[in-house]
Amino acid sequence: MAKLRKDFLWGGAVAAHQLEGGWQEGGKGVSVADVMTVGANGVERRITAGVKPGENYPNHDAIDFYHHYKEDVKLFAELGLKAFRTSIAWTRIYPNGDEDQPNEAGLQFYDDLFDELLKNGIQPVITLSHFEMPYHLVTAYGGWRNRKVIDFFVRFATTVFKRYKDKVKYWMTFNEINNQTDYNAKFAMFTNSGLLVKPGEDAETLMYQAAHYETVASALAVQIGHQINPNFQIGAMIAMVPIYPASPDPRDVFKAERAMQTRYWFADVQANGRYPSWLRTYQKNKHMALDMTLADLDVLKAGTVDYIGFSYYMSFAVEAKAQEPAGFDYEEGVDKVENPTVKRSEWGWQIDPVGLRYAMNWFNDRYHLPQFIVENGFGAVDQIDAQHHVHDDYRIAYLKAHIEQMKLAVEVDGVDLIGYTPWGFIDLVSAGTGQMDKRYGFIYVDKNDQGEGTLARYKKDSFYWYQQVIKSNGEDL
Ligand code: BG6
């Protein structure tokens, strides 16, 4: 039977803004993550107009990886990681986003971090834009609604590609570029694209415009990256949430198909180099006036990705309404229904390991590219005892069930899989809620939602479990 690759990249994933802290260190500028307050389970984070005194901004200090990375990398090596997925905070390199010259202190920080990782046998896997674009690009340019932002992003990408061309092989352009499918969600629009929807603006059109510029920027980055180092592997990064029909009723089935098309056209463009015909027809029928030139379409064709990177946490289900428009249009915020066949996490995320295998098959049939699972994990409230033990068997159970399905996709279904980097393997700030207490880690970090704690790191039971998984190349689960 086929097996996981010998050089399979067992790793762990984080993002700069969720763990580094040091929000003003080394000349770093303010990012969109720096103006988001703490939320709670079921309570949205607020986006403030700049950094305001008296607010709790959890990303400002996060787990202070900026100052702790040397000790942390030692722990990562003990865990046995072969890959560490993080992002390069755009605001460390271009603090406002529109400068002509990069900030040397920021570049040096990542040189030091990557050297430390490589010295410990861990390869960095890098996302260019992970929910942390410069806030100045929002206030001065309106975020990704503005074509000029393409140039700023390309400048940033080119700078870091050149600087780290011998230290990083695997790159991704935009983290979970398709979250903004839910264009009525403020969080998704702001974190993906720096968009604050103004009264009278059509959020959906705005999203399609911003996403178009992002796919163009991504395609340009792919081309430039390959010129700088032909060995670079540059991927898409898609939030994969398979959407099932709630029943075998053909109308539900078509609703689910349209929902999948609506959530994953981003990957069609990035992997196939062109827009799917249903979407261009939809945009025309809705009279969306989009700035999309013939030159853009050539760029998309010439800058297709090398692999599909994706996150996987859960699945959705949809059901057709009694009256559907001709297009069975999918509106994420309103069309989802509960799937009674699967359990849910405390945050309402539907737990569906088989959905991971389904997703891998779906990607494989559609794009015929290698895949990289760059996020998967279980957010939970952990209890730590007096001896600093955390018995997180629920997390182990979640991951084990998903790894089993991942292996079936490789061994039985023939998917070419580069690696697996579970999310937040060291506790960090939740993107969605800003909480510390929604923990994903194998390494516990002593800090709570109020920002209190010693920042000490402790190994959970899952640490020793994952260590064994890596050692056995996934045989011993
Ligand atoms: C993905 C993001 O959406 O899921 C991460 O790429 C995020 O940044 C992760 O942290 C888990 O979501 P949350 O809201 O639980 O932090």
- Per-residue pLDDT tens over the stretch 379-398: 999 999 999 999 999 999 99
Strand-by-strand arrangement of the 316-318 sheet: 243-245, 316-318, 336-337
The protein residue whose alpha carbon is closest to atom 2 in ligand 1 is 431
At 385 the pLDDT is 98
Q: How far from 19 is each of 23, 28, 414, CA to CA, in Å?
A: 10, 15, 35
Cβ of 261: how many Cβ atoms within 10 Å? 17
Burial class (CB in 10 A: 0-12, 13-18, 19+), 347: middle
Which residues are the active-site residues?
176, 375
Reported ipTM = 0.99
Burial of 255 (0-12, 13-18, 19+ CB in 10 A): buried
Q: Are 247 and 320 in contact (CB under 8 A)?
A: no
* pLDDT score of 1 more than 90: no
Could you say which DSSP state residue 100 is in?
S
3-state SS assignment for residue 209: helix
**Which residue's alpha carbon is nearest to atom 5 within ligand 1?**
431
- What is the pLDDT of the chain when averaged over all its residues? 97
66 pLDDT more than 90: yes
**3-state class (DSSP) for residue 340:** coil
| pLDDT at site 368 | 98
Nearest CA to 179 among 440, 441, 431? 431
Interatomic CA distance for residues 427 and 138, integer angstroms: 29
Average pLDDT estimate for 98-105: 98
Could you identify the atom of ligand 1 that is nearest to the CA of residue 131? 8
Residue 352 neighbours by CB distance under 10 Å? 27
Give ligand 1 pocket residues (Cβ under 6 A). 15, 18, 131, 175-176, 239, 311, 375, 379, 423, 430-433, 438
Pocket test for ligand 1, best of 86, 180, 311 (most atoms within 8 A of CB): 311
pLDDT band of residue 333 (cuts 50, 70, 90) is: confident
* pLDDT tens string 263-318: 999 999 999 999 999 999 999 999 999 999 999 999 999 999 999 999 999 999 99
- Residue with the smallest CA separation from ligand 1 atom 7 is 431
pLDDT tens for 128-152 read 999 999 999 999 999 999 999 999 9
For ligand 1, atom 9: residue with the closest CA: 431
Helix 277-285 vs helix 250-267: angle between axes, to the nearest 10 degrees? 100
Q: Give the tokens for residue 406.
A: 């991942």
Distances 115 to 17, 164, 165 between C-alpha atoms, Å: 20, 10, 13
Tokens of 99: 């400068």
462 alpha carbon – ligand 1 mean position (Å)? 19
Short-list 53, 34, 146, CA closest to 95:
34
Of the pLDDT bands very low, low, confident and very high (cuts 50, 70, 90), residue 345 is very high
Residue 421 vs residues 84, 113, 204, 347, 418: alpha-carbon distances, Å: 7, 18, 32, 22, 10
Q: Compute, in angstroms, the gap from residue 324 CA to the centroid of ligand 1.
A: 32
> Which residue ranges form the domains of the chain, and what is each CATH number?
9-471 (3.20.20.80)
Question: C-alpha distances in angstroms, 391 versus 142, 164, 258, 378, 464?
Answer: 46, 39, 42, 14, 11
Backbone angles phi, psi at 366, to 5 degrees: -90, -35
Q: Please choose, from the candidates 342, 348, 439, the residue with its C-alpha nearest in 3D space to the C-alpha of residue 390.
A: 439
In residues, how long is the chain? 477
Q: What is the pLDDT of residue 105?
A: 98
C-alpha 440/C-alpha 70 separation (Å) is 21
222-227: long-range pairs with CB below 8 Å, 24+: 222/173, 222/303, 222/304, 222/305, 222/306, 223/299, 223/302, 223/303, 224/154, 224/157, 224/158, 224/161, 225/157, 225/161, 225/171
Query: CA geometry: angle at 207 spanning 204 and 211, to 5°?
Result: 145
Provide the whole-model pTM: 0.98
Instruction: Give the three-class secondary structure for 317.
Output: strand
